[in-house]
Structure 1
Amino acid sequence: LATEPAPSSSLTIHVLNTLTGQPATGLATHLSQLQGPGLQWMELMKSSTNVDGHCPLFLAPGQVKAGTYKLHFDTGAYWQQLGYTSFYPYVEVVFTVTEQTRKLHIPLLISPFSYTTYKGS
């Protein structure tokens, strides 16, 4: 009998500029995990959103283990390059991955003065 592999998780994100209704292109994003006995944030990777507002280099199935993670979006620099002043210099989304989580999709909707996020599908 062949055994089924253990469930694995993947992480994708999508960022939408709600001021224009378009994907947020070129938004720097960092992913960290809370690790170690001192519970320090350890950066796992950094990327930038593409023309579709996705980060193509985010974690593939099997790379996301149970734990606490943080997505850091550099929204201040993003808005500045578009000629706007942002109330939020950055947005951080902290979330928990459980063993049962298979796919994680985290959308972020941004404007210079607000943001919204939720657990997508």
Structure 2
Amino acid sequence: MSVRGIRGAVTVEANEASLISEATLTMVREIMSSNDIDPADICSVLITVTQDLDDSFPAQAVRQLPGWELVPLMCALEVPVKGSLERCVRLMVLVNTEKSQKEIHHVYLGGAQALRPDLAKSKV
């Protein structure tokens, strides 16, 4: 078994707690299902948000998912680069898995597909 990193990103329509939570949960659920992850196998999750998303902590939403109560979650601000994607939540999930790096499915949703078009799924 190896520790693998799984990336995810999603854009949020507006700086509202409910929209931040909804987008974050959609992304987390997609990462979980597309990689067949059990929360007990997750080492930790780093969550970053752009400076324009300050209405809630995305980790609060994630902690409400079944099995995620003990998963270490950390929120931080994304590096504020001029001209970078706005209203974006990003994840780095470190997970114990038998999968190779080639078998990992990274998840980029909404406007975040522009970050890594080579890895983005065709989902909105």
When normalised by structure 1's length, the TM-score is: 0.33
Bigger share in strand? 1
Q: Which has the larger radius of gyration?
A: 1
- Normalised by the length of structure 2, the TM-score is 0.32
Higher relative contact order (CA 8 A, sep 6+): 2
